[in-house]
Amino acid sequence: MTDLRLALRLARRELRAGVRGFRIFLACLVLGVAAIAGIGSLGQAIDRSLSDNGRALLGGDVEARLVQREATAAEMDGLKARAETVSTLRQMRAMARLQGGAEGRTLVELKAVDGAYPLYGTLKLEPAMTPAEAFAVKDGIAGAAVEETLLARIGAHVGDLLAIGDTRVQIRAVILDEPDKGAEAFALGPRVMVALDVLPATGLLQPGSLVNTAYHLRLAPEAAPQAVTKALEAGFPDAGWRLRTRDNAAPGIAQFVDRLGQFLALVGLSALVVGGVGVGSAVGAHMATKTRTIAILKSLGAPAGLVFSIYLLQVAILALAGIVMGLALGIAVPALLAGAIGDAVPVPVALGIYPAPLAVAAGFGFLVALLFALWPLARAREIPAAHLFRDLVAPDRVWPRKRFLVATAVLLAALIGLALAASADLAFGLWFILGTLAVFGLLRGVGALLVRLAAALPKPARPEPRLALANLHRPGAATGAVVLSLGLGLTLMVAVALVQRNLEGQVGERLPTAAPSFFFVDIQPDEAADFTALVQGTPGTADLRMVPSMRGRIVKIKGIDADSYPVKPDGRWALRGDRGITYAATPPEGATVVAGAWWPAGYRGPPLLSFDAALAEAMGISVGDKITVNLLGRDIEATVANLRRIDWTSLTINFAMVFSPGMLEAAPHTFLATVRATPEAEPAVFRAVTDRFANISVIRMKEALETVDGMLRRLGAAVQVTAGVTLAAGLLVLAGALAAGHRRRLYDAVILKTLGATRAQVLRVFVMEYAALGLATALVALAAGTAAAYGVVGGLMRAEFSFDLATAGLAAGAGILLTVGLGMAGSWRALAARPAPILRSLT
């Protein structure tokens, strides 16, 4: 205790000299901690706002959603018995055509609501009016509220008439805010909202049409939503409805935010680890200046333990300061970014202080600071008192004691443990950590290799390259630190840039030449022949393909309820609600059977199933297993006959589940069709189909892809910003490493000038040194970043990976430029200086 107090007193006394040498140390910690705290706080703030607004987002306390059918009278009674109010909504995709002179028409997301809508929140309209006013029938025509984008797309105005299927509605208002929109899947067209009783008149409600019916329940204030869903599940086990409560109103968004948040937090952690390198070298540099002090302390009788405590306390005090500053910045991040994320989240972000992510960030900060500071501190501990009386200039090579090696291992384990604990997806977290460790190790190795290589290379005859080469391998050279600090940041940058480039490529450039131009949805069986004739009769079309389509839900796998069946994360989507199903006599295109065999031609036996091979892997399904699918309320058990490897990127129609013929033909269903059209023929196809068939929805591939592309772009921007933080941390460390060598370079420059070297000669030495460092680092970062991007694109996303030379070249160039630039920034003064004053200050 006395020792600790003494250590604290001595530590404080030393800190009085200022923290100049610790600026990089502080900056690294502040940046890393702020990144982790900020990302965590933002995630929590979004979670909080989603749950705070759960009722409005969901549209009720409980929602029961049915696909392709309405609730039976008994089911309706069951809903009403448990709620104060039940509101009914039906949604589908449809074509809307502007009536009058203009020819505008487009795919819309049609939503029909009853008089109780919305149960919670407000439907904001412009001009201001109530939903009842907007949807009222005037002069025999019902009203509609539409999204602004619809007006722009088809050139319509408030007051114009829209034809939807067989009926017409009048645009009465523009929707400014639709409270329950955020909870829905992404939209392929603008919203058109009408009264529920308009829907039958459209003629779009055909058997097999893709219509969702949702029942929103307002519960009594004391009723628990979970109790209601449990009761509904128990009361109607075969209803096949999807029940959601206000606590989980937007599971898609919540999950997306969680996943992205986790990923970004790991990226933030890598920034902190890069910063850790800076922490380590700052402490190392600080301890190097303390050699004399330590020797004096020891010669006066201070034991090694006390010496260690003094400097450990200094580091701890400074780390605490850095962490507190980082947390303060982190708290401000959600407020700063709230505007930028704007419409990506359907509700305003709930700003506030969230202790959990702050605690995690602080924990990371302390562990990283200690981990990286321990080594130089432990070495300083071993400096002998005799150092004072030794004439030699050579630095003492001391190895820390064994217990510090153990402590380092423990700290590292704790850091990895915390990273895994903070990451919900254990496998992803583990991969990320392993990847970071691998890159860390690789860069360390490359740094060491570069030093050895520089030492082993034959010495160039000319003094400039020789000096540059010598600077790379001299004792205390910044080579290792530069390669590591710049390398980690650059690696991440290359990986992110390449992943993003590949994603953009997937959507934009990699579109197969045979990709269809249109998707046609909701073709009724009796329209199939006319539709085929019409499309094939339009010049410029090719490859018309039509397949039957229905919706079904997997309810049992190998006899186990789907709810309790264990599925890997990447297969969970298939159990979430209804999935598209088809039947076929022959294997679909764009897929190859990889296990089992396709059913024989003319097969009419018990239902067989062809299953997506990737999904089967995630679900642990193999040929011969039984799967039960609920189809329009009826359970059908089928045996898996084969597994197909599907190439989704071919953009041909494909289904995860294909049934054998014989069983499903009788069920009500519609057809899906695709067709390829030349760009010139596209408008004609669009017009011909929408003119002739009011009920068939036409999705233009180009527009759908643009929607996806926009989402990917936003996602990419978020990832890039975070990767930028890592690069910034790397630059800080780089600047620190180069600054540490500044005195030495100044000295070299002055001696060279004293001996008669011109400024140009000295300049060449420095440029050669930094360019070699930057080039080596950039090459390693390029290789490691490409490997990581390949892993993400090829492994995680199962997409084809392509290397992009421009991206690669940019990264390499940036690496060299940054190193030379930062290095020269520090050396410029040395070049301009007159030798005498500096020689004076050096003696």
Partner 1 sequence: MAAPEILPEILVEDLRLTLASAAGPVDILRGISLVVEAGETLGLVGPSGSGKSTLLSVMAGLERPTSGSVTVAGQRLDTMDEDALARFRRDHVGIVFQSFHLIPTMTALENVALPLELAGKRDAVGEARRQLEAVGLGHRLEHYPAQLSGGEQQRVALARAVIATPRLIFADEPTGNLDTRTGEAIVDLLFDPERRRGATLVLVTHDEHLAARCDRRIRLADGLIAA
- Tell me which residue of 581, 632, 586 sits closest to 611, measured CA to CA: 581
Residue ranges in 533-552 that form contacts with partner 1 under rule CB under 8 A: none
In the complex, what is the shortest distance from the CB of residue 757 to partner 1, in angstroms, rounded to a whole number? 5
Hey, is 298 helix, strand or coil? helix
Task: Name the strand (E) or helix (H) holding 116.
Answer: none
In the complex, what is the shortest distance from the CB of residue 734 to partner 1, in angstroms, rounded to a whole number? 21
Hey, is 48 helix, strand or coil? helix
Hey, is 700 helix, strand or coil? strand
Number of residues forming the site for partner 1 (CB under 8 A)? 36
CA dist., res. 46 & res. 65, Å (int): 25
Residue ranges in 761-790 that form contacts with partner 1 under rule CB under 8 A: 761
In the complex, what is the shortest distance from the CB of residue 407 to partner 1, in angstroms, rounded to a whole number? 31
Token readout for 153 is 């797309």
Hey, is 476 helix, strand or coil? coil
Residue ranges in 387-406 that form contacts with partner 1 under rule CB under 8 A: 391-394
CA dist., res. 652 & res. 584, Å (int): 15
Nearer to partner 1, 171 or 757 (CB): 757
Cβ of 233: how many Cβ atoms within 10 Å? 13
Torsion of CA 465, 468, 469, 472, to 10 degrees: -170
In the complex, what is the shortest distance from the CB of residue 459 to partner 1, in angstroms, rounded to a whole number? 8
In the complex, what is the shortest distance from the CB of residue 742 to partner 1, in angstroms, rounded to a whole number? 15
In the complex, what is the shortest distance from the CB of residue 463 to partner 1, in angstroms, rounded to a whole number? 4
Asked if residues 492 and 267 have their Cβ atoms less than 8 Å apart, the reply is yes
839 scored as a contact of partner 1 (CB under 8 A): yes
Nearer to partner 1, 438 or 836 (CB): 836
Residue ranges in 724-763 that form contacts with partner 1 under rule CB under 8 A: 744, 747-748, 751-761
Residue ranges in 206-245 that form contacts with partner 1 under rule CB under 8 A: none
Q: What angle do CA 673, 674, 680 make, to 5 degrees?
A: 135
Nearer to partner 1, 154 or 830 (CB): 830
In the complex, what is the shortest distance from the CB of residue 387 to partner 1, in angstroms, rounded to a whole number? 14
- Tell me which residue of 553, 595, 678 sits closest to 239, measured CA to CA: 553
Token readout for 348 is 């305003």
In the complex, what is the shortest distance from the CB of residue 461 to partner 1, in angstroms, rounded to a whole number? 8
Nearer to partner 1, 391 or 509 (CB): 391
Nearer to partner 1, 293 or 761 (CB): 761
Residue ranges in 101-140 that form contacts with partner 1 under rule CB under 8 A: none
Contact region for partner 1 (CB under 8 A) — 496-504, 548-556, 710-718, 833-841?
Answer: 833-841
836 scored as a contact of partner 1 (CB under 8 A): yes
**Facing residues of 523 across strands?**
671
91 scored as a contact of partner 1 (CB under 8 A): no
CA dist., res. 833 & res. 548, Å (int): 82
- Tell me which residue of 725, 741, 760 sits closest to 493, measured CA to CA: 725
Nearer to partner 1, 65 or 473 (CB): 473
In the complex, what is the shortest distance from the CB of residue 763 to partner 1, in angstroms, rounded to a whole number? 11
Nearer to partner 1, 760 or 805 (CB): 760
CA dist., res. 342 & res. 348, Å (int): 8
Residue ranges in 305-344 that form contacts with partner 1 under rule CB under 8 A: none
Nearer to partner 1, 126 or 396 (CB): 396
List C-alpha distances in Å: 192 to 86, 94, 106, 146, 682: 22, 9, 11, 5, 25
CA dist., res. 711 & res. 35, Å (int): 23
Residue ranges in 563-592 that form contacts with partner 1 under rule CB under 8 A: none
Nearer to partner 1, 806 or 832 (CB): 832
Residue 485 burial (10 A CB sphere; 0-12, 13-18, 19+): buried
Nearer to partner 1, 128 or 393 (CB): 393
In the complex, what is the shortest distance from the CB of residue 400 to partner 1, in angstroms, rounded to a whole number? 23
Site string for partner 1, 440-479 (x = CB under 8 A): -------------------x--xx--xx--xx--xx----
In the complex, what is the shortest distance from the CB of residue 290 to partner 1, in angstroms, rounded to a whole number? 19
CA dist., res. 18 & res. 20, Å (int): 6
Reduced DSSP (H G I as helix, E B as strand, rest coil) percent helix, strand, coil of the chain, to 5: 55, 15, 25
Which residue ranges make up the site for partner 1 (CB under 8 A)? 391-394, 459, 462-463, 466-467, 470-471, 474-475, 744, 747-748, 751-761, 832, 834-837, 839-840, 842-843
